[in-house]
Amino acid sequence: MHYGYIISANMKTLIKTSIMAIAVMAASCGAKDEKPIIGKQQPKIVNGLMTPEVLWAFGRVAGAQVSPDGTKVLYSVSYYSIDQNTGNSEIFVMNTDGSDKKQITHTATREAAAKWMKDNEHIAFLSSETGTMQLWIMKADGTDRKQITDRKDGITDFLFSPDESKLLFIADVKYGARTVDKYPDLPKASGVIVTDLMYKHWDEWVQSVPHPFIANFKDNKINDEIDVLKGEPFESPMKPFGGIEQLAWSPDGKTVAYTCRKKTGKAYALSTNSDIYFYNLETGKTENKTVGMMGYDQNPTFSPDGKWMAWESMEHDGYESDKDRLFIMNLSTGEKTDVSANFDQNSTGLTWSADSKSIYLISCWHALTQIYNVTIADKKFTQITKGIQDYSFVALAKDKLIGVKHSMSKPDEIYSINPKTGTETELSFENKDILSQLQMGKVEERWIETTDHKQMLTWVIYPPHFDKTKKYPTLLYCEGGPQSTVSQFWSYRWNFQIMAANGYIIVAPNRRGLPGFGMDWLTEISGDYGGQNMKDYFSAIDAMAKEPFVNKDKLGCVGASYGGFSVYWMAGHHEKRFKAFIAHDGMFNLPQQYLETEEMWFVNWDLGGPYWDKMNAIAQRSYANSPHLFVDKWDTPILVIHGEKDYRILASQGMAAFNAAVLRGVPAEMLIFPDENHWVLQPQNGILWQRTFFAWLDKWLK
């Protein structure tokens, strides 16, 4: 997947954030005898300014679910303890008008993936109360908890069939042979014998894959488990971000649709060609419903009348940032239709209307992510919501919609939306008490002319209590991905408001290669890493440096992942614009990156292919722009941050950049996390990250 995800709800679907939150909890949740974390920590707020401690005190809303009768909303909130360096999640219920809000769990163990039962009176959820994540059921007031499953390795998510006679659940199964399988007399040997690619993925050595299972459900018990993949060595849902949204029950309960890329090893590493399969419960047979469609096909959802299936589809194999098209299939004829053929935007988070005549969806345009509706008959897209915001989720609730949104100035909260007028009403108010004490900086939209005379949307975030008569140090923010939009995201690490609270102006351009500005703008970055998108960065910071309130002698440049690559690249090309750099998890040596990373489709598409292909002009241009080739021009202090569990971009990339700076005599510092991956997920590590980040900037820019 992308090289630069941000830990927020600003992803293609809310479930990705939910999965990441579950991963955090699995790594950090305290033992049962620890003091329970059952509510927000109370941070000390001084002068209304954001601090790292305040940032970690926010409750993180996720997993909104509307009851079958459309009258209530179920959701979870994650809380963190800095002292304990742990996190926990709790479950809440409220009416769809926001009234009668109740926290219905109060435990030191983790609850997640909560879903309504069809009677509107019970809730199914996962809990780690017995050590591993198991399925439980309780009343909607939190009483009468009953454990349903007791599988040795637990389960990761689930869906009941429409009549609740069957349970579809996800569980990990063994993948490949262990060393001890080959040498039983070496049970403590830690070596891993590798015979093919994809032996590592994001932050794990691949020794298991998720499979969907179906079991009978009766009298609060399950039995007769069936592995839908029949022991095949494939994953469904797809790692690392896929969840239960990649599977669906048909309305009649006779079919399970699941997403799968039926490839392993080298073939898996080279391809994004996933398909949607139908598993027939009566016959036990499986059918590929998207055969011949070569890109990502995922996230199936059936219409309420059972006549249609909608899903998200990308056209090209190997291009993970391709347009997310909205496809529908007539289940009677098998005819497939690209509903979004004339809609030059992504379509994600699909939700059918009650009458099966239209679909609600999430889409980003001009760095704002809104709720849309498209009617199937005429393929007409209508934008419902407006405002400086990003929606990440939408669901039906009788005559209204329930959505989750955030902005650069506010974390996720739940809202009700009038589908006809777009009028929004906040419901959850999870963080009202903290937000009411904070002074947020102004967020301004600017359109800046690029070197090729195009207009580029750039967000400018000002410090609280901004005084235009003063001069401020200013940061150029470089986005990761490289195809991740700089929309109204809220991040718990790359948070613009905490940067502003520390006295910096932030310049965040939607440079070439970002979605939400049409496919031409998006595709221009692939095979041109050191090209126009870097000129776009310079256009943005040069334009802002002309403002009287920007101290052009105190400019910094920061970024992670592809943004980290951008920092390394600019360090050799900036012509003394900047006085400080910070690169997190960045690519430094592109030829080495080609062989170190695991998802080969990405480097093949975005870099153009292997560096040894001398006849490939695109690839050779990519590698000629590798930052390590321009270290001789480095002359500006640089902070390098990396996690040693990052298998997307190995820590050796950051170490090499740091070593190069030191050998060149350039002031440098490195922050290494032995136990973090492509992100920073633990509270105390997160605070260390922020303190190191601002200490470096303050040293060179103030």
Task: Answer yes or no: 678 catalytic.
Answer: yes
Q: Indicate the SS3 state at residue 115.
A: strand
Please count the residues of the chain.
Answer: 702
Catalytic-role residue among 390, 528, 536, 646: 646
Catalytic-role residue among 561, 566, 622, 626: 561
Q: Using CA atoms, how far apart are residues 493 and 498, in angstroms rounded to an integer? A: 9
Q: Using CA atoms, how far apart are residues 629 and 515, in angstroms rounded to an integer? A: 29
Pairing between strand 221-227 and 208-218? antiparallel
Provide the β-strand partners of residue 424: 417
Return the CA Rg of the chain: 25
Task: Classify residue 446 by burial, with Cβ atoms within 10 Å: 0-12, 13-18, 19+.
Answer: middle
Pairing between strand 505-509 and 472-478? parallel
Give, as one character, the DSSP assignment of residue 632. G
Treating both helix axes as pointing N-terminal to C-terminal, what angle do 562-571 and 532-545 enclose, rounded to 10 degrees? 70
Q: Which residue is listed with tokens 């742990």? A: 86
Burial per residue of 608-623, b for 16 or more beta-carbon CB atoms within 10 angstroms, e otherwise: bbbbeeeebeebebbb
Q: Using CA atoms, how far apart are residues 670 and 638, in angstroms rounded to an integer? A: 9
The amino acid that residue 700 corresponds to is: W
Q: Using CA atoms, how far apart are residues 203 and 324, in angstroms rounded to an integer? A: 26
Task: Answer yes or no: 332 catalytic.
Answer: no
Q: Using CA atoms, how far apart are residues 500 and 506, in angstroms rounded to an integer? A: 7
Query: Is 344 within 8 Å of 518 (Cβ atoms)?
Result: yes
Catalytic-role residue among 201, 406, 628, 678: 678
Helix (H) and strand (E) counts in the chain? 14, 38
Q: Which of 662, 634, 600 is nearest to 266 (CA)?
A: 600
Task: Answer yes or no: 561 catalytic.
Answer: yes
Q: Which of 334, 371, 324, 373 is nearest to 352 (CA)?
A: 373
Q: Indicate the SS3 state at residue 380.
A: strand
Residues marked as catalytic: 561, 646, 678
